[in-house]
Amino acid sequence: MSDARGRLIIISAPSGAGKGTVIRELRRLRPELRYSVSATTRAPRPGEEHGVDYIFVTPEEFEAMEARGEFLESETYVGRRYGTPRSPIERNIGDGADTILEIEVKGARKVRAKKPDALSIFLAPPSEQELRRRLRDRGTTPGEEFERRLDTAKKEMEAIGEYEYAVINDDPERAAQEIISIIDRS
């Protein structure tokens, strides 16, 4: 075990801002970064793997995990439950590894309240029109959910000032490089 403690790096973005793509690029550029895998009650999207992208659980399993105090935070987002497992983050940080936490705005507020030394970065789309296009092109969001996600995304954009840093995702590779620069100087 290292004497140096790792850092928790919070990355939030509205749905459709491209955070998954940017974080994949970030992890490619910096493979030593650890990634906090969140639990969710939503169904996997095509190509997503259990334990890699999310820990996919039933609502009953989620409630049991929550009751046992296994989450650093949990939240309902667009009708689905999401939670951040506490023990992997604490283990990574204790081992001296910087750990990326991809999380929505409400959950990030809860985590920052418990971990005020966390580095917080908001990833924003270049425009509302681009956000709408990305959500639509994803092709995995039915009409009613699409509108809910778009409405939620607009509200989340208002929280950009709560974060230490904001990065515009106009190009995933450039955005990942900017995040690395932020991590290196923080």
pLDDT, averaged per 10 consecutive residues of the chain (186 residues), comes to 80 88 95 96 93 95 97 90 96 96 92 96 90 72 74 90 97 97 95
DSSP labels, 22-91: HHHHHHHH-TT-EEPPPEESSPPPTT--BTTTBEE--HHHHHHHHHTT-EEEEEEETTEEEEEEHHHHHH
Q: What is the homologous superfamily of the domain 8-185 according to CATH?
A: P-loop containing nucleotide triphosphate hydrolases (3.40.50.300)
* pTM of the model as a whole: 0.87
Q: Tokens 């418990």 appear where?
A: 114
Q: Residue 74: what residue type?
A: S
Strands 39-40 and 8-12 turn out to be: unpaired
- The domain limits of the chain are 8-185
Query: For residue 147, what pLDDT is reported?
Result: 80
Q: Tokens 């100087």 appear where?
A: 185
CB-neighbour burial class of residue 87 (10 A; exposed 0-12, middle 13-18, buried 19+): exposed
Q: Which residues pair with 12 in a beta bridge?
A: 122
- Helix (H) / strand (E) element for 154: namely helix 143-157
| 78 neighbors 152 (Cβ within 8 angstroms) | yes
Query: For residue 2, what pLDDT is reported?
Result: 45
